[in-house]
A = this chain, B = another copy of it.
Amino acid sequence: MTSTPLSSLSLAILGLLSMQPMSGYDLRRIFTTTAMGRFSASPGAIYPALARLEFLKWTKPAPATSSSLRPRKAYMLTAAGRTALKEHLAEPVTREDIIWRLDHLLLRFSFMGLLPVEESRRFLLQLADGLGAYAHELQLQLDAFPDLAVPQPRLALAHGIESTLATARWARGAMQSLPPT
């Protein structure tokens, strides 16, 4: 069984719900006021995503805490949801992830407290290696780059390399700061 690919928004929602039950409005507030705000906050995205997760039986309504006429609809993870989240977090880091979905990888990492710390270490190692290999490829491309009349394309490519290396450095530093096993 191949797992349904998880959008960044769904992953962010699952991860936040794994910490405590929340309503759609709570989630929106987090997305608009914190650094998690990289991940969309429009109601037209959040409420359908919550509905999809409930349909998958990965979330369920949390018991109402207030008894107003229209109680806030908070959701919590089901056991299946928690399992699906952990399985997604534990997936190997692919080259495609590194090139196309680095943001998603970082989001995954931010929730990896749910897994044993060795998983985080393994993840960071795969990430650092993959980033290093990718930076090397980009460097080869830069070396072979035709010398155009304008400097901007080379500079843009150089940014790709520097940014990739910066993330690789971060990954190695983060490994050091994880608690030892």
User: Which residues of A come within 8 Å of B, CB atoms?
Assistant: 34-35, 37-38, 99-100, 106-107, 109-113, 120, 138, 141, 148-153, 155-160, 162-163, 166-167, 169-170, 174, 177-179
State the Cβ distance, A12 to closest chain B Cβ, in Å.
12
**Residues A153 and B34 in contact, CB atoms below 8 Å apart:** no
- A163 B160 Cβ-Cβ under 8 A: no
Q: Chain B residues near A160 (CB, 8 Å)?
A: 35, 106
CA distance A120 to B178 in the complex (A): 41
Copies of this chain present in the complex amount to 2
Query: Which of B34, B150, B159 contacts A113 (CB under 8 A)?
Result: B150
Q: Which residues from B are CB-within-8-Å of A34?
A: 141
**A150 CB to nearest B CB, Å:** 3
Does B155 contact A166, Cβ atoms closer than 8 Å?
no
8 A-B pairs with CB atoms under 8 Å apart are: A109-B152, A110-B157, A111-B152, A112-B150, A113-B150, A113-B153, A155-B174, A158-B174
Q: Is the CB of B155 within 8 A of A109?
A: yes
Chain B residues with CB under 8 A of A167: 159, 162-163
Q: Chain B residues with Cβ under 8 A from A178's Cβ?
A: 151
The interface centre, meaning the residue of A100, A160, A174 with most chain B CB atoms within 10 A of its CB, is A174
Complex CA–CA separation, A113 to B151 (angstroms): 7
Assess whether A106 is in contact with B174, with CB atoms less than 8 Å apart.
no
